[in-house]
Amino acid sequence: MRELLKPTEKLSLTPQEIMAATGIGKIELGEDLKLVSERLGHTSISITADIYGHLSEGRQKEAARKIDTLLADALT
C-alpha cells in the first residue's frame, strides 16, 4: 500500500483499521475462523463470524462449483 502513496503522503491507520485488515487478510487466506477470532481478541467466534462472515460467500460459491464438477464427473 505504501508504494501507492506519494513521497509526501503518509499512511495513517487506526488500530481498528489495522485489526480489521489483519482479520480480512487471514480469512481470505483461508485461516480457520476460530484462530482468527482468538488472534483478534474476540470473546466468541460468533462475533468474528458476524463481522467478517460476508467474506466467506465467495468461498461458498467456489466450494459449490467444485461439488458440481465432482458430481458431473461422477455421473459421466
pLDDT at residue number 46: 94
pLDDT in tens, 19-32: 888 888 888 888 88
pLDDT at residue number 69: 86
Phi, psi of 75 (to 5 degrees): -85, -10
CA dist 31 → 1, 43, 71 (Å): 22, 18, 27
Q: Tell me which of 7-11, 17-21, 31-35 is least confident.
A: 7-11
Q: How far apart are the first and last CA of the chain?
A: 47
Query: Hey, what amino acid is at 2?
Result: R
Q: Nearest-CA neighbor of 34 among 18, 21, 20, 23?
A: 23
Residue 42 cell numbers, joined:
474476540
